[in-house]
Amino acid sequence: MNCMNRHLMQAKTPLYHAVKETLRRQIVEEYQPGDRIPPEADLTIEFGVSQITVRRAIQDLVREGLLYRRQGKGTFVSEPKFAQNLTILNSFTQMVVEQHRTIRSETISITKLSAQEAQKYSALTPPVLEVVRLRIVDDHPLALNSSYYSIESFPQLRDLLEENPNMSIYRVLEECCDVKVSVQEQSLEISFVDDWEASLLDIEPGSPAFLFNIKTQNQQHQTIEYVQAVYRSDRCKFTMFPKRQ
């Protein structure tokens, strides 16, 4: 029995868990995103355990997002997840840059809503502008954002977006309109993408996703924006730092 097998057998945790943690260390130390890990049969021999044990360990790492499977091709190391702190509101662009990643935006549509469609956003002075953008991080689609603004409040927004689709809207609001954006209300739930969302996010229809509904305000606590954002659950994680009251 080699040293690795002896260590696994002597571990006080369940055997599959010990295999999982050993695999996790190997992935971090020896592999790069996109690399294929050895087949289950090879890992069974390497660890001296059953294939069922190896399979369960891999399934856990897939659920955690560290690995992903490709049908008929094997199991691969995932890209690091995009991390977002829910306790502060930053420009999406700023958050991506701070994590040393690349970002670009693809404008899907910019639409002036009808009076009936705009009723849902009653806190905004009509007419209302809908801006739908696909946020692409490290050349992979990450989030689909639908944002809503009063055209009367931000009359130049459409022209600015058409001129520069990659612009940070929050930066423009602050620098050009002297508006400091803060969260007024925010909710997070699990959703399942439809065919249209799936095609843009490059995932299977019905895949789970994070759905944010956000309402933001200016310094005078007036609602200035509604956002509905769909994030790929396999590429994102969110953190919070609650304080005891």
CA–CA separation, 107 and 143 (whole Å): 12
Q: Are 26 and 19 in contact (CB under 8 A)?
A: no
Domain 82-239 has CATH 3.40.1410.10: yes
> 56: helix, coil or strand?
helix
CA–CA separation, 136 and 202 (whole Å): 11
Of the ranges 22-31, 99-108, 143-152, 187-196, which one carries the lowest mean pLDDT score?
99-108
Ranges for all domains in the chain classified under CATH 3.40.1410.10: 82-239
pLDDT digits (tens, 9 = 90+) for 29-41: 999 888 999 999 9
Q: Which residues contact 132 (CB under 8 A, 6 or more apart)?
A: 107, 108, 109, 110, 111, 144, 145, 146, 147
Q: Which candidate, 188, 172, 170, places its Cα nearest to that of 240?
A: 188
Is the predicted pLDDT of residue 7 greater than 90, yes or no? no
For domain 3-77, give the CATH number: 1.10.10.10
Of the ranges 4-8, 55-59, 77-81, 236-240, which one carries the lowest mean pLDDT score?
4-8
Rounded to an integer, the average pLDDT of 7-36 is 82
Q: For residue 227, what pLDDT band results from cuts at 50, 70 and 90?
A: very high
pLDDT digits (tens, 9 = 90+) for 147-173: 999 999 999 999 999 999 888 898 888
pLDDT digits (tens, 9 = 90+) for 129-138: 999 999 998 8
